[in-house]
Amino acid sequence: MKIKTLISAAFMLTGCTINETLVHDPELNLMFQPEMYMHVSQEGTVRFPTEENFAVRAWMLPQNVSWNEGIGHAIEYMPLSEAYSREVTITDSDTRIAAKDTLWGTSETLLWPSSNDNLTFLAYAPFGAECNCDIENGISFHSDILLRQEDILFTEPQADRHKIEDGWVVPLQFSHALCKVNFRIKNRVPEREEILIRRIAISSAYTKGHFSSFRTPQWIQEGTPAEILFFEGESPTDNLPTDIGSGLMMIPQKLDTRITLDYDYQTSGGAGLPMHQQTSVINTELEAGHSYTYTLSVGIDDVKLMQEIIGDIFE
């Protein structure tokens, strides 16, 4: 009799397990919560702009097969799609308290697959960027900064996501593929004398390259180094550092070059002397996601590098 009781209990427990599985395989919309990774500042991440869309693609594997083990057998679940922001109302299943949040979803209402499967995601922004997104190279693209000043954001694989264990909202952390260089200028001239900046250029740097997020190193520079023009016009200076120009996106690389300035030195008597000067050699490793602000001190017949400030692109 005791044996029968144990067998009956086993069947009851088996029944409970099956029912529990059915209950926990709900139909859930596939949605995303993107953020931008801050490379330098202590804030960690910042919210992705709600007006920006991004491209996302997903692959599926059985839950017991990890992305690293089964990448070669992954099946495309979602083709490259545009994700855009929308306001959603989320209700807590226990307290029934509702709250509004902004999440991103695709134009087609896409559901998660069965709870037997996991998804892995890759994404880039902006959506219209000329990028490839595949499991061979990750996010890849070619850049020529002289032809197009476009900041590209990309994610590493958001791998092995399960709709119940990890939640139906997929976090996406975007990183910057390029870096940015800015200039500030101050003068070193007596009162009633003036320096008028005409031109600022980096004498020699790579302007072209190919990026692949699955490759090490991610950037391969192409072509030969060339002069990069940052400012051309007419800009007065002060004895305190002042921003000049809007800066340029650049391909990450090792700089071993000088900064060239063309400017007019105007005496108190009104005479104008055109000058062409260079800084000493700058050795800096330009890294993706960083901004580099160079403060230059301009004298009557020389230019000195005062300070190099490294920060995040969007500080």
DSSP string of 40-68? SSTT-EEEPPTT--EEEEEEEEETTS-HH
The Cα-based distances of 204 to 177, 222, 291, 306 in angstroms read 21, 14, 18, 20
- For 134-164, b/e burial (b = at least 16 CB within 10 A) is ebeebbbbebebeeeeeebbbbbbbbbbbbe
pLDDT of residue 270: 77
142-176 pLDDT tens trace: 999 999 999 999 999 999 999 999 999 999 999 99
pLDDT at residue 260 tops 70: yes
198-229 pLDDT tens trace: 999 999 999 999 999 999 999 999 999 999 99
What value does the mean pLDDT take over residues 238-265?
A: 96
Q: Per the structure block, which two tokens stand in for 44?
A: 């960690």
Neighbours of 93 (CB within 10 A): 6
What average pLDDT does the chain have? 89
Q: Per-residue confidence at 17, pLDDT binned at 50, 70, 90?
A: very low
pLDDT at residue 9 tops 60: no
Q: Per-residue confidence at 94, pLDDT binned at 50, 70, 90?
A: low
pLDDT at residue 21 tops 50: no
pLDDT: which is higher, 203 or 43: 203
